[in-house]
Amino acid sequence: ENENENEDESQNADSHNFATLVSKDATIGDIPPVISGRSLSVNSLTSSLRQLKREQYLKSLWITVACILGVIASVSVILLVVFVAQGNYLKEMEKEIFNPAKDMVGETISRVREAILEKTTMSNRVGVELSETRTAHYPIIFVPGITSTAMEIWKGRPCAKDNFRDKFWGQDTAKTMLRDIKCFFEHLGLDPETWGDPPGIRLRPSTGFSSADYLFPGYWVWAKVFENLNDVGYEPKNMHFLSYDWRLSLPDLETRFGVYKEMRHSIEQLSARNKNRKVVIVSHSMGGLVVQHFLQWAMFNMGTKWIDDHLESWVNLAGALLGVPKSVSAILSGEMKDTAEFGRFSKQMVGSILGTGETIRFFRSLGSLPSMLPLGSTSMWQQYAADPTKPFDLLTFGPIQESVLKSASDKDIPDIDRVVIEPIPSLDDYKNWIDNKTYNFETYISLFDKLLPRYMKLVKSKYALQNTDLRDEKGWYN
């Protein structure tokens, strides 16, 4: 009787499960027939239906996999046809994409390995070693370079309405860029005609040490400098980080946000908090130009006595005091060596996402970039060439392709490029200015004046590129 009761309870439970199973997942036609002249028990029916479900699921899965493989095969055939049609495209792909990508992966693995080793040997950190014999003395003010400070969004267009105070440039860059890359560049750039805020957009620099310790997750900028200085006794009491909008022209830093006044007050406060000791300035990259401009501003506004009384020294890390050649290509074509190494692939990818000319428009919207145009004579730069005996030119153009010349005519060329807002030269002008032409460090500005008249008018309203008169604020960075 106990066994019968247990069997009844089991069948009642199975009946409930079976009813549920049939009502949701099966039809009468799916129920298996009588086996060996006996009706199936509830348990057997349930088991059979579950087996049937598994078989149907596997069948659907295999169909899905087969479809996916079919699509992949079709795309592969199409790509193969395209590659064959384009001749040496595979070799170009290997040269322009795969080899640089392989090098980048190898370099990344090496850096990770070094980082892991460094974490396990903290006792070898230079700050830890110095702490045995040295302690903090002079207060420090840090002046970062271009792109080194995170930028927060305080006002945005509809595509960024939910991003208030997100670090559009910084910790949140990957999120904002991947979600809408056009929206990202639309907000990160300035107005290309004024170098001011675009209508409906306000990006402002983050403040404090966290604005530039780790610009992106795992990518440190100043973090290790702060950490090692902390080992010998530095902290917010005796060091300060000057955050500023690295997109602005150097004069606009003061006229719009009073950055040089802020730097002066920060230096005075650091000195007052630390027994009136003089302050050391530590700058990096374009920050060196900001310091150069600040020192001239201080001399004309407070006099050299203020500088002598408050500044001990200036540590200039990779300062771009004579400019950097990559700024020329960034302004001309929206490329630098860093991106040009990916060749046609990068231009096609960026062009397909942003549209032709948008990267050029972005670079030309940065009022800070012209401060890094190369300065000085060709003979001076030639001293740093690989072979100082050979001509050292800044820009060298090859011949304009015949196919381009044959397929184009002046009647096909519009009067103005609407993206970068510049008049478009005639084909004869292109031949005279670019076809097999070379420009050195003293003549490239003349090419810019011809190709980019609107842009150069804006540049010269902020910067004195040549024949600098130190009474002119536009030349203080120089």
Q: How confident is the model at residue 95, as a pLDDT?
A: 57
CA angle at residue 378 from 377 to 380, to 5 degrees? 70
- Most confident region among 25-39, 59-73, 175-189 by mean pLDDT: 175-189
| Confidence grade of residue 392 (pLDDT, cut at 50, 70, 90) | confident
Q: What percentage of the chain has pLDDT greater than the value 70?
A: 68
Q: How confident is the model at residue 25, as a pLDDT?
A: 43
Is the model's pLDDT at 20 over the cut of 50?
no
For tokens 């100082």, name the residue.
Answer: 388
Please give the structure tokens belonging to residue 429.
């002008």
Q: Which of 127-141, 199-213, 393-407, 438-452 has the lowest mean pLDDT?
A: 393-407
Q: How confident is the model at residue 214, as a pLDDT?
A: 83
CA angle at residue 160 from 154 to 162, to 5 degrees? 80
Distance from C-alpha of 204 to C-alpha of 367, rounded to nearest angstrom: 15
Q: Which of 33-37, 85-89, 302-306 has the lowest mean pLDDT?
A: 33-37
Burial bucket for residue 209 (CB in 10 Å: 0-12, 13-18, 19+): middle
Q: Which of 159-163, 248-252, 364-368 has the lowest mean pLDDT?
A: 159-163
Q: How confident is the model at residue 286, as a pLDDT?
A: 94
Mean predicted confidence (pLDDT) in 212-233: 87
Q: Would you say 390 and 383 are in contact if contact means Cβ atoms under 8 Å apart? A: no
Q: How confident is the model at residue 261, as a pLDDT?
A: 96
Cα torsion angle, 55, 59, 60, 65, sign: positive
Phi-psi region at 318: left, alpha or beta (left = phi > 0; alpha = psi -120 to 50): left
| Confidence grade of residue 16 (pLDDT, cut at 50, 70, 90) | very low
Strands 438-439 and 395-396: antiparallel
Helix (H, G, I), strand (E, B) or coil at 465: coil
Q: How confident is the model at residue 218, as a pLDDT?
A: 74
Distance from C-alpha of 25 to C-alpha of 45, rounded to nearest angstrom: 13
Is the model's pLDDT at 149 over the cut of 70?
yes
Q: Give per-residue pLDDT as tens, 115-147.
A: 655 554 555 788 888 999 999 999 999 999 998
Q: Which residue has the higher pLDDT, 151 or 217?
A: 151
CA angle at residue 278 from 275 to 281, to 5 degrees? 135
Q: How confident is the model at residue 459, as a pLDDT?
A: 94
The half-sphere exposure of 403 on its side-chain side, counting CA atoms within 13 A, is: 0
Please give the structure tokens belonging to residue 363.
């670079």
Stated length of the chain: 478
Q: How confident is the model at residue 272, as a pLDDT?
A: 96
Is the model's pLDDT at 336 over the cut of 90?
no
- In the chain, the amino acid numbered 389 is T
Please give the structure tokens belonging to residue 350.
């960026």
Is the model's pLDDT at 24 over the cut of 70?
no
Q: Give per-residue pLDDT as tens, 437-478.
A: 999 888 899 999 999 999 999 999 999 887 666 677 788 777
Distance from C-alpha of 469 to C-alpha of 459, rounded to nearest angstrom: 17
> What phi and psi values does residue 328 have, to the nearest 5 degrees?
-65, -50
| Confidence grade of residue 169 (pLDDT, cut at 50, 70, 90) | confident
> DSSP letter string over 183-240?
HHHHHHS--TTTSSPPTT-EEEE--SGGGTSEEETTEESSHHHHHHHHHTT--TTTEE
Q: Would you say 211 and 137 are in contact if contact means Cβ atoms under 8 Å apart? A: no
For tokens 């002249």, name the residue.
Answer: 37
Helix (H, G, I), strand (E, B) or coil at 33: coil
Mean predicted confidence (pLDDT) in 263-280: 96
Q: Where are the alpha helices (DSSP H) in 26-98?
A: 42-85, 89-93
Q: Which residue has the higher pLDDT, 243 or 62?
A: 243
- In the chain, the amino acid numbered 282 is V
Mean predicted confidence (pLDDT) in 361-369: 92
Mean predicted confidence (pLDDT) in 71-97: 59
Q: Which of 160-174, 296-310, 360-374, 407-421 has the lowest mean pLDDT?
A: 407-421
Q: How confident is the model at residue 83, as a pLDDT?
A: 54
- Residues 51-76, buried b or exposed e (16+ Cβ, 10 A)? eeeeeeeeeeeeeeeeeeeeeeeeee
Beta bridge partners of 75: none
Is the model's pLDDT at 111 over the cut of 70?
no
Phi-psi region at 411: left, alpha or beta (left = phi > 0; alpha = psi -120 to 50): alpha
Is the model's pLDDT at 394 over the cut of 60?
yes
The maximal CA–CA distance of the chain, rounded, in angstroms, is 113
Q: Which residue has the higher pLDDT, 358 or 303?
A: 303
Q: Give per-residue pLDDT as tens, 95-110.
A: 555 566 556 666 666 6
Q: How confident is the model at residue 118, as a pLDDT?
A: 57
Rounded alpha-carbon distances, angstroms, from residue 197 to 157, 182, 188, 458: 12, 17, 10, 15
Q: Give per-residue pLDDT as tens, 37-69.
A: 334 444 555 555 556 656 665 666 667 667 777
